[in-house]
Amino acid sequence: METMQDEWQDGYLQRHQLCLERVRTMQTEETVPEPFRSYFRQMAGFFLETEAVRAQIADGSWQRFDLARMQEQNYKLYEDVLPENYGTSYANPSYAKALLGGEYGQILCALYAELRCAIPYAFEGRAGYLTILGELLIEMYNCFEGELPEYQALKDIFYWYASDYCDVFFADRIEEQLYPEKCTAVKWLENADLDDLRYLYRSGEFVTENEIGTARHLGTLSEETVQKMADVYTEGYRQGFINTGKDLSKKSVVDVRYCLGFERVIKKAVENFEKMGLKPVIVRAATSVITKREQAKVGYYGAIANKQYEYDHRMDQALFLDKRYVERKLDVMKNVYEKNKGQAARLAGPAVMEVFGEKPFSPEAKVEALSYNVVQQELAVQYEGKSGQITNQYIRGEERSFTIVAYPVPEIGERYKEIFDDVIRINTLDAVRYEKVQQALIDALDQGVYVRVLGKGKNETDLTIQLYHLNDPDKETIFENCVADVNIPVGEVFTSPVLLGTNGVLHVSKVYLRELQYRDLKLTFGDGMIRDYTCANFEKEEDNRKYIYDNVLHRHDTLPIGEFAIGTNTTAYVVGRKYGIEDKLPILIAEKTGPHFAVGDTCYSWAEDVKVYNPNGKEIVARDNEVSILRKEDVSKAYFQCHTDITIPYEELEEISVVTKEGKAIILLKDGRFVLPGTEMLNEAFEEENA
């Protein structure tokens, strides 16, 4: 199986050399008028700088650099987009528009963002990819020689770049997610000397004190502790298959996703996976407008140099997104999976290690940034839906699983080491003990028709959640007793609510969702669907609504409540308060520290027909809702390709009660404390906090 990169090594180097020669002339020619001449000279300089890195790695000279030289080079590659320099960067849509003009500034800003893909391409030795980027730059440059070009001509160049090379960049990326031998990161990890911090810079990712501090801290931990972290991660993955009755023996590949600095744990995890018969694929988070999913990071990655930059460029596809391009991309996806369907069937699913502790980010809404028009919004939603269907056809939801765990980074504060130790403790809590307590909650919830959740004080939450009707309570249950398997740490019971009759307001004073902060987030539900929404991030209400529409609703007109859960990990909650890091806890942990509601798909999406059982042997029958069941008629109407958890912290809760068909209210939690008999253990952490 030859990749494009193999072909370039076999005879296309001449094209690469011609590209470099032309780019070099851009630095001295005066055929392009100002202010565009200065722009293109800077772009040419950046491109040649990345090519120099590729050449240094290829001839072995880069590996002989000392740590200081590597750090200097790493900083230089990312310097222009760092927050302190972003105000005068061509990568900033506001600056580019001011300097280069409206439409020109917008498209040349997007061009620069795409050229920055040259950094990972250089470190991965992808001369062919670099050549394609260089040719895109040259073609744009040529348009500005003489009379200024029509804006549409520039858009057409971008369109055909994306369309023509979709079956290169996008196809290669899909195959890299299927074949361990195609992953450059796997080889890098295998050869990395973890006692020499220079290994971090070989990735080509941006490296800060978070990545360095993480690597150093892991180096101080005992082998036993590092092994324990790896075991929690991989055992959760294995248990995910067992608990859902899926056959892991059919699989041979695991998709490992993590953040730079955790290589000591990942190396041991890879050894554990190999004992299960799984080889890793480790694919860098996509950077190209052709392959990335807006600002989401899917894969392995280092520090995010500037989250505002990522946010500003999340919709650069708006330059060329149309029906023809969507069809082209879906065709490429379908053809690649069909060609590799045997290998795709062997992918077991993702094993994710996240980080948290960075300063919460609330973006600035820039009118100069590219954004989708109404038609493009619909196309983007359609693409997500159809691509999800194609993926599930070849990597079937009922046969795959996942796991996810999170650890802090040094930026979380001076007590980082203490916090890290406490997070290890949280991630390894006694699942058996929690299983018994959570079963007491489920026994009460199974008696109910609906659950009532009320906020306290300034929290305006007032929600009624309709529950699934049990036909055989002796053999069936509504809620899943979630211990530490796919979602680490332990600590929640959850269900797919009935939408009809699920009404009210969900309000959270502050929450951090997918690296974005929301203040006074408020969602109003009618029959389980979002009817209205707002927050207090921006002065203009239209900006608040667009922020939620883009990042919570993912541009759907509405979304259902796909999950209702009660988090029981009071230890995690108290740890958050102890260090004052409640707003920095990832949703993975935060969702266990109070009731939470997920908008979008259910937890069982694409696998609703797989029977799932609690440890007591009862089948969890509430796997569908009125939307997901539409898959039996029209799968395109059943899924939204998103699932966003929103948690109300205990201190903002007045009461959670379940109401039976006789009208009796069984109180589960009152004034932020568990009061149901059999759940008293959950209050021990609060008592220790106040001791």
Report domain extents, the chain: 4-164, 175-405, 429-690
pLDDT above 90: residue 362: no
When pLDDT is cut at 50, 70 and 90, the band that residue 4 belongs to is very low
pLDDT above 90: residue 454: yes
> pTM for the complete prediction?
0.89
pLDDT at 484: 67
pLDDT above 70: residue 626: yes
Do 35 and 99 meet the contact criterion of CB atoms below 8 Å apart? yes
Measured distance CA(581)–CA(78) in Å, rounded: 29
| Mean pLDDT confidence for 549-571 | 94
Q: What is the pLDDT of residues 126-136, one digit of tens each?
A: 999 999 999 99
Q: How confident is the prediction for the chain on average, in pLDDT? A: 93
pLDDT at 11: 56
Q: Is 147 exposed, middle or buried (0-12, 13-18, 19+ CB in 10 A)?
A: exposed
Residue environment code for 104-138, b if the CB has 16+ CB neighbours within 10 A, otherwise e: bbbbbbbbbbbbbbbbbbbbbbbbbbbbbbbbbbb
pLDDT at 691: 59
* Residue 634 tokens, joined: 């029209």
pLDDT at 3: 47
**Percentage of residues in the chain having pLDDT higher than 70:** 98
Measured torsion, CA atoms of residues 408, 413, 415, 416, in degrees rounded to the nearest 10: 30
- Residue the block writes with tokens 């744009």: 140
When pLDDT is cut at 50, 70 and 90, the band that residue 2 belongs to is very low
Q: What is the pLDDT of residues 591-625, one digit of tens each?
A: 888 899 999 999 999 889 888 899 999 999 999 99
Q: List residues bridging with 470 in a β-sheet.
A: none
pLDDT above 50: residue 551: yes
pLDDT at 1: 32
Pairing assessment for the beta strands 529-534 and 480-482 based on DSSP bridges = unpaired
3-state secondary structure of 510: strand
Measured distance CA(487)–CA(464) in Å, rounded: 26
Q: What is the pLDDT of residues 273-312, one digit of tens each?
A: 999 999 999 999 999 999 998 888 999 999 999 999 999 9
Q: List residues bridging with 516 in a β-sheet.
A: 513
When pLDDT is cut at 50, 70 and 90, the band that residue 346 belongs to is very high
| Mean pLDDT confidence for 208-223 | 97
Measured distance CA(262)–CA(424) in Å, rounded: 14
Of the candidates 353, 402, 350, 349, which has an alpha carbon nearest to the alpha carbon of residue 236? 402
pLDDT above 80: residue 558: yes
| Mean pLDDT confidence for 17-31 | 96
**Percentage of residues in the chain having pLDDT higher than 90:** 85
| Mean pLDDT confidence for 379-396 | 93
Of the candidates 341, 317, 340, which has an alpha carbon nearest to the alpha carbon of residue 329? 317
Mention every residue, 6+ apart, whose C-beta is less than 8 A from residue 231.
272
| Mean pLDDT confidence for 384-396 | 93
pLDDT at 507: 97
Query: Looking at per-residue confidence, does 513 or 566 come out higher?
Result: 566
Half-sphere exposure of 102 (CA within 13 A, CB side): 3
